[in-house]
Amino acid sequence: MTKILIIYTGGTVGMIYDDKTKALRPIGFNEIRNNLPELYRMGIDFYVYAFNPPIDSSDMQPEIWSELAGIIEDRYDRYDGFVILHGSDTMAFTASALSFMLENLSKPVILTGSQLPIGKIRTDAKENIITAMEIASMKHSNGTVMVPEVCIYFDFMLFRGNRAKKYNAEKFEAFYSMNYPALAEAGFDIKHKHNYVLPSPTAPLKVHKELDANISVLKIFPGITRKVVESILNVEGLRGVILETFGSGNATTQPWFIECLENAIKRGIIIVDITQCDGGSVELGKYETSQYLQNIGIVSGHDMTFEAATTKLMFLLGQHLSHDEIKRLIEVPLRGELTIEEQV
């Protein structure tokens, strides 16, 4: 029988309405289990690791990602797959971080949750948990797992974790993946799209627990001032910056702006250019406005999501690599998080 470990971190999926406080409060996994008797009819041998107290996803931190990676590492040989119950607000960050931290992953790690608490009559929690469990347990006829990677399952769709983004706070369809196809879709049957799934590695699992969160985000907008830019680029201990630009990587060409970025780069700060658009890719040099960035040493984030870019930068900065090696690896797809455009 397939053995699955459910890791319950918290989130809306584990909330109930408290009549006294008139607000939602977190509950333990036992109460979730009581609302989900279907778990016992699935034919899956499942076990639970529950965070106590449960964590609101808004409080998610790199230290918890390291703890999650360690939980999976310590139990990796005992289970066929892992399902992480997680709040949706930062789920894409956690999925992206774990994808980089779990090198040579050959078992499914599926994150899921819900938009409505499991105690609500119209909750989406039951379907999300049940199908995530089913996907985590599915194998090919030769015994290999269907999805040997970190994924997000939500509202009938399975996405690569480092390609997904939460885009809606009210719909059950909370996530999408603009730059990469879904890995599976659940209807009457679960239809896998095997050609989009990462190949199963042959090397043993290697877990990286060190992350460096000394990064900042510079999102440009018309009218941004030098004082704002300098305040972000001159944070003490800063090692990396995610630069959110317009369109395919464009930014203002005002001399003071380019000078600020160039000065930061000369101090050893790595600046990664990603687009503010949810879909599409950075193409440095395509327009004159991005040639300036390319010329001073800005690194292209290609089509990475904000969540993937930030966690990848934290991951690489934590690996004690050389400055040049980090810049090189930013532009290399490590876990399927980006697409390299063909040069024409």
Mean pLDDT by 10 residues, the chain (344 residues): 93 77 72 78 90 90 98 97 96 98 98 89 91 95 92 97 96 95 96 96 96 98 97 97 96 95 97 96 83 93 98 97 97 96 54
Q: Name, in order, each residue with C-beta under 8 angstroms of 197's C-beta and a sequence gap of 6 or more.
A: 146, 147, 148, 149, 183
Question: b/e per residue, 263-287, with b = 16+ CB within 10 A?
Answer: ebbeeebbbbbbbebeeebbbbebe
- CATH 3.40.50.40 in the chain is located at 215-331
- CATH 3.40.50.1170 in the chain is located at 3-207
Asked if 12 is an active-site residue, the reply is: yes
Q: CATH assignment of 3-207?
A: 3.40.50.1170
Position 343 scores a pLDDT of 47
Total residues belonging to the chain: 344
> Is the CA virtual torsion 234, 219, 339, 247 positive or negative?
negative
**CATH 3.40.50.2300 corresponds to the domain 215-331:** no
Give dist(CA 271, CA 231) in Å, integer.
15
Position 328 scores a pLDDT of 97
Position 14 scores a pLDDT of 78
Cα separation values, 224 from 35, 65, 193, 219, 241, Å: 50, 33, 43, 9, 16
Percentages helix, strand, coil for the chain (3-state, rounded to 5) are 35, 20, 45
Return the closest-CA partner of residue 95 out of 131, 130, 132: 132
Position 342 scores a pLDDT of 59
Residue from 12, 252, 310, 311 carrying the catalytic annotation: 12
Look at residue 224 and give its three-state secondary structure. coil
